[in-house]
Amino acid sequence: MAANRPTLLGLALVAPALAMVGALFLYPLGFSLAAAFTGREGGLSLEHFAKAFELYSGDVLFTLFIVLAATLGTAVIAIAFAGMLTLGETPWVLAILGALYRWPLFIPFIVAAQCMRTFLAKNGLMNNSLVALGVMEPLQATSFLDWRGIIITFVWKQAPFVTLLLAGAMAALDRSTIEAARNLGASRLRSLFDVILPQVVPNLMVALTLSFVTMLSVLSVPLMVAGSQPTMLTVDMAFRINSYGDYATANALGVISYAMTAVAAVFYLRHSVRKEAEA
């Protein structure tokens, strides 16, 4: 019992970390939450939320749609890449794929947004390449710098992160189960979905949860790729502060974002607690 009792030395060692968490995270978060629920008269009020929903209810739904669609797209791409890395049988293809898929991990979101502006524009690299290949006529070229561009950018940026975690989880599996399925005649696709994927679903869900929260907080991509209505909540928050100095409505929009991430946070914490209990 005495060994489990905190000592002064132990408290002194963790005190700087606790102070930084309190000063740099808990205090700003608490202040933002309190300001969102404080009315002009100083009492408890929901007037800022009423204004936020009156002005930006469409953007709330648009944000949720973009993030959910990008999360789903990220899952599909990550499963395909991780499956190829796990079940692929051509060494040089696996070496190239393993070297290339990580590149977006080292590119900041703002650079990714700028890359996509030049790639997805009406006269961008994608349309010019399709015209040069004879796939379509120049008059058929359309710009993807709208909601589609935001989703493509998010998937391009987050798929390597999820693939990295998922491929690592697949590599740690017992290969005998995979080889047994292949020896019984299962195709690679069936082995992936019936044998491998069910064993790594918890890892996939955690990676997607972290990606969901990350994409919900990105400002540069919706601002640079789309830049028109509807837009995401991060752009609305920046607009209320920079154009009107309206921190109250921006805080209310922030609380709405917190509510979205809270669902993902609950799932993540439940998975972590369950994993620690099983360990």
Q: Answer for the pair 89, 255: CB distance below 8 angstroms, yes or no.
A: no
Rounded to a whole number of angstroms, the distance between the first and last alpha carbons of the chain is 22
pLDDT in tens, 165-184: 999 999 888 888 888 888 88
101 backbone dihedrals φ, ψ, rounded to 5° = -65, -20
Length of the chain measured in residues: 279
Per-residue pLDDT of the chain (279 residues; tens, 9 = 90+): 455 666 777 788 888 888 988 888 888 888 888 889 998 888 889 999 999 999 999 999 999 999 999 999 999 999 999 999 888 888 888 888 888 888 888 999 999 999 999 999 988 899 999 999 988 888 888 889 999 999 999 999 999 999 999 999 998 888 888 888 888 888 888 989 989 999 898 889 889 999 999 999 899 999 999 867 789 999 999 999 999 999 999 999 999 998 988 887 787 777 777 766 766
Beta-bridged to residue 38, according to DSSP, are 44
* Residues 247, 174: Cα–Cα separation, whole Å: 53
pLDDT in tens, 20-41: 888 888 888 888 888 899 988 8
Q: What is the pLDDT of residue 188?
A: 87
Q: Answer for the pair 85, 167: CB distance below 8 angstroms, yes or no.
A: yes
